[in-house]
A and B are shown apart, each in its own frame.
Chain A
Amino acid sequence: MPTRRRAFLILASLCLLALASFALALTAGSLQVAPADILASLAGRGDGSGDVVVQLRLPRALAGFACGGLLALAGALMQVLLRNPLADPYVLGISGGAGVGAMFAMLFGLPLLAIDGLAFAGALGAMFIVFGLAHGDGSWTQTRLLLTGVIVAAGCGALIALMLSIADERKLHGMLFWLMGDLGQTYDWWPALLALVVALLCAMPFARELNLLSRGLMQAQALGVAVDRLRYTIYLLASLATAASVTTAGSIGFVGLVIPHLVRLATGNDQRLLLPASVLAGGSLLVLADTAARTVIAPMQLPVGVLTALIGVPVFLFLLSRQPK
């Protein structure tokens, strides 16, 4: 039986997890700084070393948290929209579209801001193409939406491969890092965090209706859900959340697929709890993974997408083998 009290307790403990991940992200690294110095800098009256940490590590951790949260939220929403527990934020080709935009900007050596801008434009482009093609005759079934998304993603993949193959080698490293997902090239952290807050605030009022939608369109409609309107809203929200994350940090894989799954296994499928819990868990996981990505083989850095995939693949296979037949 879902109750507010249980949801509150679970969310409170996930908040602690998020705080712990931030603490680790701020203290871990080649430059050792005492926790007291970091706290002093956070409070705005620190000396040199603490300030460096706060100016370099905090923005990166915030961006990581925002992207992880956005991906987990988008994944949870996509899974309900497609009524398929194996859907993820990229399944409808949004990261492919963003990838095409970003690769194009990098191929021509455009500045960082232009890379982000074109990536976002590409994500929106893919979103409208998929929606236009899938919605064409008004039927807009899950299967049709899914197939259209997969095909558009494949097309984008081909374009990306084309641009990678004609790019010169000096640019190739940056392009590959972008494609694997990397927080090292993040331009700014606040747009993603703002997007996360807005997306969560827009999704929460519909949480109970999403519970019904996941049980079937006709069932949801019979129980009083304005199904068409809800599905448009969810599609837009999930797409924009994915676009915001991909623009900030490239296509980081598996967070959007695995986190909603893990949370569902642990707490059940009530979206009122699942959505905020996924945001907190996804954000924390990405902060932790990124901290590992920049410390395990320091001073070299790994793209965080590689780490999330390395963690994600075995977890996902394990979950898949547990799927009810």
Chain B
Amino acid sequence: MSAPLLEARQLSVEIGGKTVVDRMNLSLQPGERLAILGRNGAGKSTLLSTLAGLRPPQAGAVLLDGEDCALLAPRQAALRRAWLGQFQNDPFGSTVLETALTGRHPHLGRWDWESKHDAELARKALQAVGLDGMETRQVHTLSGGERQRLSIATLLTQAAMLYLLDEPLSHLDLNHQMAVLELFAGAARDCGAAVVMVLHDPALAHRFCDRALLVYGDGRCAQGTVDDILTAETLSELYGYGLRQIEDRGHRCFIPE
């Protein structure tokens, strides 16, 4: 069996003196999708950026495609995993196409310019998120949801096998939420990509992920398949608010009491 696309070994993450996870093990095979759920401030984003190798862990190691993140050159890491952050700001002007093309950076040599092929990939990615025809728009004229979809297009242009998504659905309307989730589900199913996403809706997590990781914010965490772990009981404890569970045609739904 090949090395997992993402592996965490005895990983401990802290932020501001608070433990997010303590000696956690995690492994993600090609085609697998993992949801990270937890309350605000539990450390989900911190954990995700640590898994992306963007900040050093307190202890333990993160392996991308079998190689220790701490020893990988930034460019090598960028070829293996793509990371979607929560915040984008653009102090300088830039067009939509130029922004999507930045995803090609790790694939280009120091003196290379983006080729026709790169532009083709960027256009396809824009099309996949429904931004075709907007290539020459300035990014600061986009709406919040369009800006978020542009970030996702940049991620697709990067063409890594592991996607780490921090609240990929923020600012998106309902139909684009479903489209984005279908898009990454397709990437996992058809291309063997692995996806980790921080989500706030347990119903969507149940529907679009294979496994879930619950982060309690006090150093405890729990993992399991979505069927096992996304239940009214565990989620009520996680969020500190009573939830009722409803099953409908194989989909699970949670209603606040």
Contacts and interface: CB of A to CB of B under 8 A. Distances in A.
Contacts of B111: 205
Given A1-B114, A4-B113, A216-B85, A221 B98 contact: no
28 contacts: A1-B114, A1-B119, A2-B114, A79-B92, A84-B91, A208-B108, A208-B110, A211-B102, A212-B105, A215-B99, A215-B102, A216-B89, A219-B88, A221-B54, A222-B52, A222-B54, A222-B78, A222-B85, A224-B73, A224-B74, A224-B77, A224-B79, A224-B106, A264-B92, A269-B93, A270-B98, A324-B93, A324-B141
Interface string A262-290: 00100011101000000000000000000
Interface in B23-66: 49, 52, 54
Interface in B110-138: 110-111, 113-114, 119, 138
B74 A226 contact: yes
Nearest to A221: B54
B25 to A, nearest CB: 24
Could you say which of A83, A205, A214, A218 has the most chain B C-beta atoms within 10 Å of its C-beta?
A218
Contacts, number: 84
A1 B97 CA distance: 7
Given A208-B105, A212-B105, A222 B83 contact: yes
Given A2-B98, A208-B105, A221 B74 contact: yes
A142 B7 CA distance: 33
B65 to A, nearest CB: 15
Interface of A: 1-4, 79, 83-85, 205, 208-209, 211-212, 214-216, 218-219, 221-227, 264, 268-270, 272, 324
B90 interface: yes
Nearest to B119: A1
* Size category, B interface: 35 or more
A3 B138 CA distance: 18
Contacts of B52: 222
A272 B113 contact: yes
A223 B140 contact: no
A226 B105 CA distance: 13
B85 A218 contact: yes
A218 B49 contact: yes
B88 A223 contact: no
A226 B73 CA distance: 8
B82 interface: yes
A128 B179 CA distance: 51
B114 A215 contact: no
Contacts of B105: 208-209, 212, 223-225
Nearest to B138: A324
A224 B90 contact: no
B9 interface: no
Contacts of A224: 73-79, 105-106
Contacts of A79: 92
B50 to A, nearest CB: 12
Given A216-B89, A224-B74, A226-B74, A269 B108 contact: no
B158 interface: yes
Nearest to A271: B92
A218 B90 contact: no
Contacts of A208: 105, 108, 110
A215 B94 CA distance: 10
Q: List the 4 shortest-distance A-B pairs measured between CB atoms, nearest first.
A: A224-B78, A224-B75, A224-B106, A222-B83
B202 interface: no
Contacts of A205: 110-111
B98 A268 contact: yes
